[in-house]
Chain A
C-alpha cells in the first residue's frame, strides 16, 4: 500500500526538543523530494521544510529556520524532522508529504495522516 506514516509527536515543554519520523511505503521513496507541512489546531496549512531526493538541498520556513532540521534515510525509506528550541507556536499537526519531483518545487500527491506536537509547560 502506498502510504506515509508519521510518528514521534507528543507533549513537550517549551525550549525542549522532539524528533519526528515519517515512514514511507509502496513507492520508490529515494526518487522523490519530501516535505513537512504543519497545521495548528483550527488553522490553515503551513509549509515547514523540504528536502530533495538526494539530501543535497533543503528549505525551511522562516518561522523554523535555525531551530528545525530535516533529514532523510533512503535506505530506511524514512524522513525526519529534528525540532529544537520548541515554542508554543509550534503546536500543530505535522504532516509528511511527497513531492512529485525529485528536486522539489512540485505539488504534493501523497500525505500522511499527521502527528500532533503540543508544546506546553
Chain B
C-alpha cells in the first residue's frame, strides 16, 4: 500500500501571500496525483489532477507540480475563501486509493 505524507500539518499564511503545500508518496506514482480542498461542513472538491491540471472552474492561482514521489500545491495570492484543509490522493495503484492526512491552511 502506498502511503501519502503531507507537510506541514498546519500552515499559517496571511491573505495575499503565497502558500506552498507538500505531498510525498512512499513509492513512485508517476503524475497520478490529485489535490482536493475541503471546507468545514462540506464535501471535498477536486482542485488538481494529473499532478498539475486544474479541474473545471478552479482559479489560476492554484497550481500543482511534481512527479514520482514529490508533489507541491501552490496557491499564489491567498484569498479568504482559500483557507481550508487540502488533501492529496494517489491513484496510480488501486486498491486502495490513498489520501494524505491533510494540511490545514489557516489565516495568519
- A contacts, CB < 8 Å to B: 35, 37, 44-47, 50, 59-62, 95, 100, 104-109, 111-114
Contacts and interface: CB of A to CB of B under 8 A. Distances in A.
B95 A50 contact: yes
Contacts of B36: 45, 108
Q: Which 7 residue pairs spanning A and B have beta carbons closest together?
A: A59-B95, A107-B34, A111-B43, A47-B97, A45-B99, A105-B94, A44-B102
B71 interface: no
B96 A47 contact: yes
B98 interface: yes
A33 to B, nearest CB: 9
Nearest to A93: B43
Contacts of B94: 50, 59, 104-105
Chain B, interface size category, equals 20 to 34
Given A45-B44, A47-B95, 20 more contacts: A35-B97, A45-B38, A45-B87, A45-B89, A45-B102, A46-B99, A50-B94, A50-B97, A59-B95, A60-B95, A61-B95, A61-B96, A62-B1, A104-B95, A105-B92, A106-B91, A108-B44, A108-B46, A111-B44, A113-B42
Contacts of B99: 37, 44-47
A47 B97 CA distance: 6
A111 B45 contact: yes
A98 to B, nearest CB: 10
A46 B87 CA distance: 11
Contacts of B7: none
A109 B95 CA distance: 18
Interface in B65-81: none
Contacts of A100: 49
Contacts of B43: 95, 111-114
Contacts of A60: 95-96
B55 interface: yes
